[in-house]
Structure 1
């Protein structure tokens, strides 16, 4: 609860055996789901702060950033060791989920993604692992944050089609942005060179 600039503790949810990696609220705000770094998926009553033991399979979620759970079980391919996927973010309104992984890939899947071979679209822009990504509120952009390359990339969807199959090639959008940045650098470099003469 927020009161001006002061925050009041509403509840503490205790039960994970390791640190919490992601938190999502249900669409009605009554249930919280959390996933730990040891891959425990727990559900909590927001009103009481206590753990819920009954199934939340039919629950509608306002966000989905959990790396595990029924709607994202198809993001894990047979080669993944459980630590390859670093970040997940779903856009239910546009029916896609994006993942960031250790291979430097931003992958787009249909959402929910329950098939073992879901037909992901892979996009490479980072030179090393991708730490985190999030989808904009309108579902048209994805921002990814690299690890060793220290890069923040913005990916833009150019198609109004939904899902991984209808999503325009985001690589072309990235290449266009890179070309624009290179052109700006060339222009600024030329101006600096003329100024030093």
Structure 2
């Protein structure tokens, strides 16, 4: 399942990648983030107002509406085992929910407090025991999903296998940053599902392809143009046959064949 947003400017509200409408009622809040439950049957969508929605992907019905704070929800992400939902906000907090009924029922477990700027990216551990977050002031923090407490000992997370690699800051993606780069130059990264490639989307209309892990400073990459302005997101298809990128001002979605 793939759904990811350009978000700058906003996409058609409630739009889905097959062109059909998700949900039967108007959405007043522009969407900012989205994430599927592992079952694929429920989609969480975060908006710019702190509100977030759960939608049934088969019936397109609205399952629930929740609100956390009053600032934009920058990331919504279900854990790999489907037992948790993390909601990262521009109020510097991550709200964690326990999940039941295949994503249709959620209960607030707690909130992760420790960042001093807004949440930008989030990745889950493969075993769902913890997750890592990036923030607007370039922090990397780790969290225990069952307690919502910050993990402060490096040994605890040193050998964690991460289910995804969307955080633009971290040891495994250190090499994507060129010398003198501004911390906002790279908007998104994605690791291929076979764990061999890493794609990045930047403010200069370029998509870079690296080997993963990308730990060496200023790592070599293949560079591709196609967008006319900043690239806001990137993702690999489930079989790694293609990558998809979204543009900001050009409002385009480009497909890239992986060869």
**Same fold at TM > 0.5:** yes
What does 1:46-125 correspond to in 2, within 5 Å?
A: 46-55=145-154, 56-91=157-192, 93-125=194-226
Q: Name the larger-Rg structure.
A: 1
CA distance in 2, matches of 1:14, 1:3: 28
Contact kept, 8 Å, 2:177 with 2:217, in 1: the verdict is yes
More helix by share: 1
Contact kept, 8 Å, 1:74 with 1:114, in 2: the verdict is yes
CA distance in 2, matches of 1:141, 1:10: 37
CA distance in 2, matches of 1:111, 1:23: 18
Paired position in structure 1 for 2:88: none
More strand by share: 2
CA distance in 2, matches of 1:8, 1:138: 33
SS of corresponding position for 2:122: strand
SS of corresponding position for 1:72: helix
C-alpha displacement at 1:117, in angstroms? 3.8
CA distance in 1, matches of 2:100, 2:255: 31
Deviations 1:94-128 (A, max 9, x none): 41110000110010000000112422000111011
CA distance in 2, matches of 1:152, 1:92: 20
TM-score, length-scaled by structure 1: 0.76
C-alpha displacement at 1:138, in angstroms? 2.0
Count of aligned pairs = 158
Q: Which moved more, 1:101-110 or 1:131-140?
A: 131-140
RMSD of the TM alignment (CA)?
A: 1.4
What does 1:1-197 correspond to in 2, within 5 Å?
A: 1-3=99-101, 5-55=104-154, 56-91=157-192, 93-157=194-258, 168=259
C-alpha displacement at 1:23, in angstroms? 0.9
Structure 1: tracts of 5 or more residues without a match:
158-167, 169-197
C-alpha displacement at 1:91, in angstroms? 2.1
TM-score, length-scaled by structure 2: 0.58
Deviations 1:20-77 (A, max 9, x none): 1111111111011111111111000111111100112221100111111111110001
